[in-house]
Every structure is written in structure tokens, then in C-alpha cells.
């Protein structure tokens, strides 16, 4: 099948089921960048993300006949990838591993160059990415799909198999957690950067300065959506049921 042809995703999947040896590869090439981006942001580790995508695509290849056509093919593929990522996260949390020392490393090896960004921006990026990794898996998956990759709430709900209100609630909770992480970083900044010394040491929100939390949300969006798998900025927090 011609990769540049006008075949739809559904056509490619049907051709795969009919024995076309190239159809599934064309389908994967069409969507692999976004699938990889979702996996990378969800798992937070390149090797784990690559393994999750590989497992998911093998599963999709073998179980294509089970696709009922009640959603878009790309939604079906994303659902399999996200589930593979969440399975890996849960296994990692249930059986944490401690990395062994590398006996081949020597102290005189050159270290990797630091990013060209200023130290403050670099620190913020690390805090935001760590905050994303620290989110509960359900909130992280919702944030990755909606806020980073820019999927509509309805499609994210379909991918994760939950109600739209649940997606909105998870996103709102995840955004709040990440904004607090940035507020914590801001609280450690010296007064010379414009912070009022009299406000340091207080709990986030104690000053009633909610503008900092909103700014933290925007800064979080810009940071997590830079680099591989860049997506859309954080939209305004949606309202939803108080669900995890």
C-alpha cells in the first residue's frame, strides 16, 4: 500500500486484517510521533517509553481484529499506549529498583554539557518535570493528554475510558499540584529577584496572592511542553467531579 495514498486509518487497519503486509507499518508511521510523545511524557524515561510503545504496537498488531470501530483508530492506538505506560508505572511503583553502581565509570570522564538556559530556568524545568512525574498516575495521564499534547477533553476521556468530568477533575488537581511545586521554587528565590522578604516562609496562598499560582500554571505548561513531545499550553482549569 502506498504510504502517501489517501487511505484512512480505518482503511489501513482493514487492509492489515485482509493480509496487507505494509498497511500496519503505514498506520504506525502516521501516528508514531504523537504516540511516542504521550509515552515519553507519561512514563518520564526514554527506555521505558520505548518499551511501552513497542509493547503497545505489538498488542495492537496482534489484536487488530478486536477493534470494533466505535472510536477513531488513533484513539484506540493511544488507549493501548497509555495503558501500557500506566502498567509500567504501576509495576515500577510496586517493585522499585535501586540502580547498581557502574564499575566502569571513572571520575575523570567528561560530564554531559549543561543546557544553555540560565540556571534559574533550568532549575524550574527540573522542578516542573519532577512535579509531573510525582503526580498520581491518573492525573499525570490526563495532564499529558489534555495539557501537553492538546487533546480535547472528550477524546482524552475516550482514551482513558472515563467520563469527561473525571478528566477535568484530574487535570484541575494535577495543575494545582504542579503550581504548588513552582510556588515552592519561587519561595526559595532571594529577595533581590523581586520577592517581598516579609512573605517568605508562608504557606502557598497564605498571602492571598493567587496570581502567583496562576503564573505557576502557565510556567509549568511552557516547561513541560518544551522538548520531545511538545504539545499545547495549559488551558484554564476545567470544572469536574471531585474524582481521582
Nearest by Cα to 212 from 189, 242, 244: 189
Looking at the structure, tell me whether residues 134 and 218 fall in a common domain. yes
Lowest mean pLDDT among 41-50, 93-102, 150-159: 93-102
In the chain, the percentage of residues whose pLDDT exceeds 70 is: 61
pLDDT band at 167 (very low <50, low <70, confident <90, very high): very high
Same structural domain, 53 and 150: no
Whether residue 143 lies inside any domain: the answer is yes
User: Is 83 in the same domain as 124?
Assistant: no
Cα–Cα dist 225/229, whole Å: 7
- Confirm whether 237 is domain-assigned: no
The residue segments making up the domain with residue 131 are 119-224
Give domain status of residue 113, yes or no. Answer: no
What string of DSSP letters covers 207-237?
A: T--HHHHHHHHHHHHHHHTSSTT--PPP-PP
Q: Tell me the pLDDT tens digit for each residue of 70-90.
A: 889 999 999 999 999 999 988
Please tell me whether residues 135 and 195 are part of one structural domain.
yes
144, 81: one domain: no
State the pLDDT at residue 169.
97
pLDDT at 73: 95
What's the pLDDT at 101? 45
pLDDT at position 56 over 70 = yes
Residues 144 and 59 placed together within one structural domain of the fold: no
Given a cut of 50, is residue 40 above it in pLDDT? yes
Count of domains forming the chain:
2
Amino acid at each position: 500500500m502506498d504510504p502517501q495514498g489517501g487511505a484512512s486509518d480505518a482503511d489501513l487497519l482493514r487492509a492489515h486484517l485482509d493480509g496487507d503486509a505494509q498497511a500496519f507499518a503505514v498506520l504506525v508511521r502516521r501516528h508514531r510521533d504523537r504516540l511516542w510523545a504521550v509515552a515519553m511524557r507519561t512514563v518520564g524515561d526514554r527506555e521505558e517509553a520505548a518499551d511501552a510503545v513497542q509493547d503497545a504496537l505489538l498488542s495492537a498488531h496482534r489484536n487488530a481484529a478486536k477493534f470494533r470501530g466505535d472510536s477513531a483508530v488513533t484513539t484506540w492506538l493511544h488507549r493501548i499506549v497509555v495503558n501500557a505506560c500506566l502498567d509500567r508505572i504501576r509495576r515500577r511503583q510496586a517493585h522499585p529498583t535501586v540502580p547498581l553502581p557502574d564499575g566502569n565509570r571513572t571520575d575523570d570522564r567528561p560530564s554531559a554539557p549543561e543546557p544553555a538556559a540560565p540556571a534559574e530556568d533550568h532549575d524550574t524545568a527540573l522542578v516542573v518535570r519532577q512535579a509531573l512525574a510525582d503526580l498520581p498516575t491518573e492525573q499525570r495521564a490526563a495532564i499529558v493528554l489534555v495539557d501537553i499534547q492538546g487533546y480535547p477533553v472528550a477524546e482524552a476521556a475516550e482514551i482513558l475510558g472515563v467520563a469527561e468530568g473525571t478528566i477535568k477533575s484530574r487535570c484541575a488537581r494535577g495543575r494545582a499540584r504542579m503550581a504548588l511545586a513552582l510556588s515552592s521554587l519561587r519561595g526559595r528565590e532571594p529577595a533581590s529577584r523581586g520577592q517581598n522578604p516579609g512573605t517568605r516562609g508562608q504557606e502557598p496562598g497564605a498571602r492571598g496572592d493567587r496570581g502567583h499560582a496562576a503564573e505557576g500554571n502557565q510556567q509549568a505548561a511552557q516547561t513541560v511542553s518544551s522538548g520531545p513531545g511538545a504539545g499545547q499550553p495549559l488551558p484554564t482549569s476545567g470544572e469536574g467531579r471531585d474524582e481521582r
